[in-house]
Structure 1
Amino acid sequence: MSRKNSTTTFEEDADNTEVLEDENRSIIMGLIAQLRKGTDLSRITLPTFVLEPRSLLEKFTDFMSHPELVVKASKTTDPVQRFVEVCRFFLSGWHIKPKGVKKPYNPILGEFFRCEYKLKNGEKAMYIAEQVSHHPPVTAYFYSLPELGIFVTGEAHPKAKFLGNSAATMMKGYTRIVLSELGNETYEISNPNVYARGILFGKMVMEMGDQSTVRCDSLDLICELEFKTKGYFSGENHSVSGKIKRQSTGEVLYEISGIWTQELFIKGKNSSKESFFSVEKNPVISKLVEPLDNQEWNESRKLWSKVTAGLASNNMDYATDEKTFIENRQREETAARQKQGIQWQPRFFDINKKAEYEFKGVNGLDYNNLSKAKEQLEKYMFSHESSSSSPKETYNNKQGQKALISEPKSIAA
């Protein structure tokens, strides 16, 4: 299958802050005037100028951008050092961010994004994510280097709240790393929360905050991390600190500190502090994504391509119209399904007995023959459905804008 390197590059300010133009700030203020503290923002339509030009489904690939680190972890024989390497991999993706304070597109139900990464040694990582629920919003994702027995599954249940001069996205869900060649050794990871500060006054800044953990019960190890937000008079943007400990005894083995947008450090109990991860010294491995012409209509980049084009050309009216069209289509399809009693079925994921979304591509996977497993996963992840053409536009509404009612149908693998 033909693919090209089409990774998106974002410039960034040194402190990742943004000052809104007066017109844009007045729009934000008008929106905020309608909100109360604690309001759930998931049903609020935000103005187009605050959007990052990519879907949340693609946003999650940031945390997979250094696959060489999880490869190193899988090949590390010492259990404690292997755990340290998994922590390094987890912390390596946070530095990738847009300029200023931007929010990725809210994925529509059934939207999906897929890509792959080619490492220097010829190994391949593959990623796929699907929006499996819209209210409440749930994203399921699967990432793998199958030839090495590395399988990563996860769910994100973001919930945005208005907090006054800030907005918070509470990142419920999990990421689970399984190393099948090591007896299915499993690492359970929780994410920090995301805050947009300075909405009412001051400079706007995007921050990570609160606690996050990496845990491996079979190794009796846990890494407790705290992402720290900057105070009004003290602290530093984008700092993190943490400790790697024995779960059973609380013994601290390593301490982690630093700025996750620049450089992190680690210190053992009997050693001096040393560099743990340097953004400057670890270039991102680019995603390989199919050209838009080859993508299905509900793949993220194809689906949002016109909105992205409007943002790129600073044509906010065009971007807003296209965004509204996508959102209206989703509402109409939801209403049509409800009227006909049709329940949505995800294409790539199924609910398992633990009430978790499981990637369908692992069904029947031969873990004793990882080369064959790679072929099976690649075929499933990158297959195309001949019947999944874009819904047809059927009429124009009273305002002359595009509107659509499509025939609702389940998308099954």
Structure 2
Amino acid sequence: MSGNLTPRVNTLRTSSNNDTSPLPSGMNTPSEEVQEHLALAIAGEGSAVDELSAAAKEMALQDGENEDEAETKEGKFKGLLSILRRFIGIKDLASVRFSLPAQFLEPIPNLDYWHYVDRPDALICITDPEEPVDRMLAVLRWWFTKDLKVVKGKPCKPYNCILGEFFRAHWDVREPAFNPDGTMLPANTDPHIPDDPPQSSASSIKSAKSASTITSGGGSWKRAGFLSRRNTPQPTSGPTLTVPKVDYVPHSERKVCRVAYVTEQVSHHPPVSAYYASCAEKGIVMRGLDQVSAKFTGTSIKVFPGEQNRGVWITLKQRGDEEYLVTHTSASVSGFLMGSPTINIHDASVATCPKTKTKAIVQYLEESWLGKQKALVKGAIFTYDPANDNITDFKDVPSSALIGTIEGSWKGEVFYTPKDGVRRLLVDLELFDVFPKKVPESHELHPNESHRVWEGVTKSIKSSQFSKATKLKVDIEERQRAKAKKRLEEGTEHEVKLFKMPVGDGKPELSQLGEKILAGVANADYGSMKDSIPE
């Protein structure tokens, strides 16, 4: 097992750029020998630690870094192995009090990073379709787009939240356009820039950040709610699909909608945040509790919903408070030690709507150890009895209840096939990018607002002053421990500001102050509202 690992590790290099990696360059999946060394190193085997750390230093020198920089790489790698060693066998990493060094963090607060509104246009159009199955399909389309940062980016570790920290933001987005076949088109990131195509025989538009082009053969884009009956080429035999008539809605008539969002860290042990998003123009509310648990298995980290995380709730007020609950999957992150982190999603997401008695199960398929990641999903949409809901696997759906099936890739195209119908595209994730949010200016920030709390840490990390960033981070954490100790001594509890507590069903309600703050966000009024929030 001994020997110089550098040549064997070095052959796995890629062009990946991961500044937070302990190794100088990204790498593909390591060989069995390198993986075995990693397992031994994490377990504390001294020779494996020395060999891998030396390989990290040697590769840094090969990359043109000087001796000091190479030794820093070697030290970071040893440090990461030491950190991971502490976590072996721990049931839930979230229960461990530990301060991760700043160089291993992404310079973004957790409340800013996770919000499930990466595509607000997909969220606001859920209420539009007239048919229940179309609304369920719209929910699934939003679900596949809600975390585009994960689909298209690298796995990362944002800052942990402090108790009482909160975040405000809003998105301004024009109602999405649709191809005549019912496929949603990416909205421009600036809703005031016309995105209607010229009326010609071959019209196209590019999303603001993507080079992908979408072409509409007839040149007339529509606002449509008929995803379940997309007018795809018909088979030579079999049932004929009917596409309902929808009128062309030009850009100027597709109104700009605002999605307002607030979230607050409501618990520290365990770490739980409550979030609430609302689009008044469309009568849509999205909310839930975020709590994740994590376990280190030796070479990967598994992340799964915490006990209080029941899923994401969506309420359609214009549909008589029609409500959907979509549950989260679990995921695993591997390859981070080799500078090539990969996320895999496991288990199933289940979407239910008791009012329409419609349910969907989307299974994320296990990946093969060999070959390129496929990120496949399969599932079904079907009718169910909310009072007797016992179907947990899409394969167990009886034919009499089946409405249609789902298949594709959560990193690419997802298709829907109605029962006895023709397969059609539900969403092509390659065409979409993360839609930018709008946040308060620096002078509008409250002392407990995420961007103010972590301002110094973020600036230090971005300027590669990691020692300073770590010190600032530790200072923040120590102040929080001092506050917790004082509350314990005084027999008092932290008061949640924006949400009513407790939240027994995982579906949070805004407090009176929270409603006021959300209304301010909906009016893009951040400055005057900050004074309404006590520290």
TM-score in terms of structure 2 length: 0.63
Q: Do residues 386 (structure 1) and 531 (structure 2) align?
A: yes
Q: 1:363 to 1:305 in 2, by over 3 A?
A: closer
Quick check: 1:53 aligned with 2:107? yes
In structure 2, C-alpha distance between the alignment counterparts of 1:283 and 1:306, rounded to whole Å: 29
1:66 paired residue number: 119
Q: In structure 2, do the counterparts of structure 1 residues 305 and 202 end up closer, same or farther at CA, with 3 Å as the change threshold?
A: closer
Aligned equivalent of 2:142, options 77, 86, 89: 89
User: Partner of 1:36 in structure 2?
Assistant: 88
Note if 1:358 corresponds to 2:412.
no
Q: Structure 1 pair 218/31, CA: closer, same or farther in 2 (3 Å)? A: same
Residue identity opposite 1:41 in structure 2: L
Aligned to 1:399: none
- Residue 115 of structure 1, aligned match among 153, 169, 191: 169
Pair 1:101-2:148 in alignment? no
SS in 2 for 1:124: strand
Match of 2:130 in 1: 77
Structure 2 partner of 1:403: none
Of 351, 368, 377, 1:240 maps to 377
Q: Select the structure that is richer in strand.
A: 1
Which structure 2 residues correspond to residues 8-407 of structure 1 after superposition, within 5 A? 20-21=22-23, 22=56, 23=74, 24-42=76-94, 43=96, 44-61=98-115, 63-97=116-150, 99-120=153-174, 121-172=255-306, 173=309, 174-199=311-336, 203-233=340-370, 236-248=373-385, 250=398, 251-351=401-501, 354=504, 356=506, 357-361=508-512, 378=522, 382=526, 384-386=529-531
Structure 2: distance between partners of 1:116 and 1:239: 32
The unaligned stretches of length 5 or more in structure 2 are: 1-14, 24-55, 57-73, 175-254, 386-396
Give, in angstroms, the shift of residue 330 of structure 1: 0.9
Q: Secondary structure at the match of 2:529?
A: coil
Report the 3-state secondary structure (helix = DSSP H, G, I; strand = E; otherwise coil) of the residue aligned with 2:509: strand
Aligned residues, how many? Answer: 370
**Which of structure 1's runs of 4+ aligned residues deviate more than 6 A?**
13-18, 362-365
Q: Which amino acid aligns with 1:255?
A: T
Preserved contact between residue 17 and residue 206 of structure 1 (Cα < 8 Å): no
Whole-angstrom CA distance in 2 between matches of 1:289 and 1:376? 12
Distance 1:361 1:237 in 2: 46
Contact between 2:262 and 2:276, CA under 8 Å: does it hold in 1? yes
The residue type paired with residue 123 of structure 2 is V
Deviation per residue, 1:355-386 (Å, 9 max, x gap)? 65321259999xxxxxxx99587479956343
AA paired with 1:75? Answer: D
How far apart in 1 are the matches of 2:503 and 2:368?
Answer: 44
CA distance in 2, matches of 1:202, 1:317: 21
Q: Which has the larger radius of gyration?
A: 2
Instruction: Quote the Cα distance in structure 2 between the aligned partners of 1:247 and 1:16.
Output: 46
Task: Kindly indicate whether the alpha-carbon contact (under 8 Å) linking 2:498 and 2:514 is maintained by their aligned counterparts in 1.
Answer: no
Superimposed CA distance per residue, residues 163-200 of structure 1 (whole angstroms, 9 cap, x where no aligned partner): 22111221231211011121110001111123211356
Shift in Å at residue 244 of structure 1? 1.4
Distance 1:258 1:243, change over 3 A: same
1:132-185, CA deviations, whole angstroms, 9 ceiling, x for partnerless residues?
A: 000011110000102321111211121121122111221231211011121110
Partner of 1:105, secondary structure, is: coil
2-structure distance, mates of 1:93, 1:279: 11
Q: Secondary structure of the equivalent of 1:301?
A: helix
Q: 1:95 to 1:285 in 2, by over 3 A?
A: closer
Change (3 A) 1:310 1:116: same
Could you tell me whether the CA contact under 8 Å between 1:94 and 1:261 is conserved in 2? Answer: no
Identity across the alignment (%): 25
Separation in 1 of the partners of 2:316 and 2:486?
43
Query: Any unmatched runs of 5+ in structure 1?
Result: 1-12, 366-372, 389-410
Cα distance in 2 for residues equivalent to 1:322 and 1:228: 42
How far apart are the structure 2 equivalents of 1:341 and 1:131?
21
